[in-house]
A and B are shown apart, each in its own frame.
Chain A
């Protein structure tokens, strides 16, 4: 953990701690909803990677945009979403951020600049770059952060859009969360050479940072966001991190690609929340008791949010063909196509 640069930034530190704990609490509850068969479908847990989403998003304003991934709950929380509306989306309820039409893999609080979680690996790289083009063309100051995993670096789209972002000097930061695994395969088996060298080949300034160190992530991102606003983008960051769960919640027997010892070691030595909590205590910013109180408060909030979502109504059936087209109330009447 870095040294405290600004001891007076207690509120910022606490916000980062709280946001990481909120993500962990969200994911723990989501996992329980899956295990108890109360959640439709599957979900991909962000636990273990909290310092990445929080360190980056705490360097952004509400105007700044992000694009998220199938493992997107952490980005969604970190960009300002509330847990109630998120759990509603996770359970397909009408009050969800996407009115229950997106679910876990498309969850996003659009009003805080989240342009959506994307279930196509690497699928949002163009969208993020396009948002940066808008900022530049419209003379707006917002910066776009494109979150993606190490697995997505195998998609050709990244190289196409990074080329254009570099040519056109777009205010976009490509943030690669390298958790070491591309679904069920060790990334070192599928990635040749170095990831930052790939970005550097396009003339894009590239950085590596410990993705378990929220302060280091935040400090780097603040610098790069500032430089993006001055027209010095794009940038690439590789964040070294780890996912505690399998590829998704159902990926439980995973010894064939990852050992339990390795997982235990990361949790024991490199947990972003535990380590940041220790640092807050060491720096005398917070006491252990105060942190426990925060943890308990957030845990209770999360449980209340789950209960709220469980009790919330599903969308009315007549919503099924709404929101297919903007400006069209019901798509089936409009296209004359499929019948119920």
Chain B
């Protein structure tokens, strides 16, 4: 049986199911208990699991992140709620120097099975410190896995996989998608890491898109279909590990690729995926691989400015049309 539920509900179900299944799973972060987070994603969990397992912390991000690392090393499986992705900067030492490296530095003797749930996404009029999409920052660090769900279905299945993983996993949920509904099975399922989803098949151009940008790519593909251009949309679902093979197979077929991600474009996720396509499918390409990330500016507050900074369907479609016509978008 499949019903439609919101991404928020999907996250809540994933955590509840895993907490029922495994008593070592705990939840901690700011306002995760009675408040259920500002986005109300976790509402109801404290009522079922109690304050021993759904733990409200002080506003001390490095502190509770560090506590989660130590708890993970000694028998618990913490799911940490980081209220805004922008607060990643506050937890960088505990996440990148401690959690990510402990297994390696101990020669494989210690493990850190923890999940850091956080969010991303601009256009919520929240300005520069509550709007960033910082997945590239953590994807850069060996030892961290990084998941980017694009719908309620992925949000639930990836989170359950993350909680069962013996490594630190960072999950970015797009905060603008919490109320978006998608079909989600009633019965239990997992979404494996490192397995991309071909959202739409096509012949002429490959659109590799993450998280919220999958919707943008699908909308662009729809518009392109009207122009007789057949676009394939690929959602990697996890960027570490990355299902390179599915992306490369697609590009070998279409000969053109646009990579879309909401993080800043320079040195970003789009750059990494584009580079891999360039390195490994160069002789199959009929056009340069195009990156479309967020504009390299801090996210502005004014709606008139903020909307300019993120990729949109019209922009993706226009770039696709041009590369299909053989035009150079970034001429030397």
Q: Do A and B bind each other?
A: yes
List chain A positions with a Cβ less than 8 A from chain B: 65, 67, 96-102, 106, 108, 110-111, 115-116, 118, 120, 123-135, 137-138, 140, 144, 156-157, 160-161, 163-164, 167, 322-327, 331, 334-336
For B59, give the chain A residue with the smallest CB separation.
A160
CB-defined interface of B98-118 with A at 8 Å, one 1/0 digit per residue? 100011111111110100000
**Cβ-defined partner of B52 (8 Å) among A130, A137, A161, A334:** A137
Are B68 and A130 neighbours in the complex by a CB distance under 8 Å? yes
Are B76 and A129 neighbours in the complex by a CB distance under 8 Å? no
Are A126 and B63 neighbours in the complex by a CB distance under 8 Å? yes
For A127, give the chain B residue with the smallest CB separation.
B70
Count chain A CB atoms within 10 A of each CB in B57, B64, B107 and give the residue with the most: B107
Are B107 and A99 neighbours in the complex by a CB distance under 8 Å? yes
**Cβ-defined partner of B242 (8 Å) among A108, A331, A335:** A335
For A125, give the chain B residue with the smallest CB separation.
B66
CA distance A99 to B109 in the complex (A): 10
Contacts of B67 in A (CB 8 A): 126, 129-130, 133, 161, 164
Are A123 and B98 neighbours in the complex by a CB distance under 8 Å? yes
CB distance from B228 to the nearest CB of A (A): 34
Contacts of A127 in B (CB 8 A): 66, 69-70, 73, 98
For B166, give the chain A residue with the smallest CB separation.
A326
**Cβ-defined partner of A156 (8 Å) among B58, B62, B194:** B62
List chain B positions with a Cβ less than 8 A from chain A: 24, 26, 52-53, 57-58, 60, 62-76, 78, 93-94, 97-98, 102-111, 113, 142-143, 145, 165-167, 194, 240-242, 244, 276
* A100/B66 contact (C-beta < 8 A), A115-B74, A127-B98, A324-B142 known: no
**Cβ-defined partner of B76 (8 Å) among A133, A144, A324, A326:** A133
Number of A-B residue pairs at CB separation under 8 A: 162
Contacts of A99 in B (CB 8 A): 107-108
* A130/B71 contact (C-beta < 8 A), A120-B93, A164-B63, A326-B167 known: yes
CA distance A98 to B109 in the complex (A): 7
CB distance from A98 to the nearest CB of B (A): 4
CA distance A157 to B58 in the complex (A): 13
Known: A111-B109, A126-B66. 8 other contacts (CB 8 A): A129-B66, A133-B67, A138-B76, A160-B64, A164-B57, A167-B58, A323-B103, A327-B165
Count chain A CB atoms within 10 A of each CB in B76, B165, B276 and give the residue with the most: B76
CB distance from A40 to the nearest CB of B (A): 15
Contacts of A144 in B (CB 8 A): 70
Are B76 and A126 neighbours in the complex by a CB distance under 8 Å? no
Are A126 and B98 neighbours in the complex by a CB distance under 8 Å? yes
CA distance A111 to B142 in the complex (A): 25
For A110, give the chain B residue with the smallest CB separation.
B109
Are B107 and A331 neighbours in the complex by a CB distance under 8 Å? no
CB distance from A276 to the nearest CB of B (A): 32
Are A335 and B240 neighbours in the complex by a CB distance under 8 Å? yes
For A140, give the chain B residue with the smallest CB separation.
B75
Are B105 and A98 neighbours in the complex by a CB distance under 8 Å? yes
Are B75 and A138 neighbours in the complex by a CB distance under 8 Å? yes
Are A100 and B107 neighbours in the complex by a CB distance under 8 Å? yes
Contacts of B78 in A (CB 8 A): 130
CA distance A324 to B141 in the complex (A): 10
Are A126 and B69 neighbours in the complex by a CB distance under 8 Å? yes
CB distance from A19 to the nearest CB of B (A): 22
Contacts of A96 in B (CB 8 A): 107
Are B66 and A133 neighbours in the complex by a CB distance under 8 Å? no
CA distance A102 to B74 in the complex (A): 20
Are B63 and A325 neighbours in the complex by a CB distance under 8 Å? no
